[in-house]
């Protein structure tokens, strides 16, 4: 649930979300995996 909130906030602000969660990065175009 927390991840979804961060994704929505990033999309609303027009920002990229950096994450270490590979599944999240594959599921959301605005999320990019690091590390």
What local confidence, expressed as pLDDT, does residue 1 receive?
66
| Structure tokens belonging to residue 29 | 């175009």
Q: Can you give the pTM of this predicted structure?
A: 0.71
Taking all residues of the chain, what is their mean pLDDT, rounded to a whole number?
A: 91
pLDDT reading at 18 higher than 70: yes
C-alpha span between 33 and 23 (Å, rounded): 9
- Band of residue 23 on the pLDDT scale cut at 50, 70, 90: very high
Domain boundaries, the chain: 2-33
pLDDT reading at 4 higher than 80: yes
Residues near 35 by beta carbon (within 8 Å), at least 6 away in sequence: 20
């Amino acid at each position: 649930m927390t991840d979804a909130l961060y994704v929505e906030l990033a999309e609303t602000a027009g920002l990229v979300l950096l994450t270490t969660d590979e599944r999240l990065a594959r599921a959301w175009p605005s999320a990019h995996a690091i590390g």
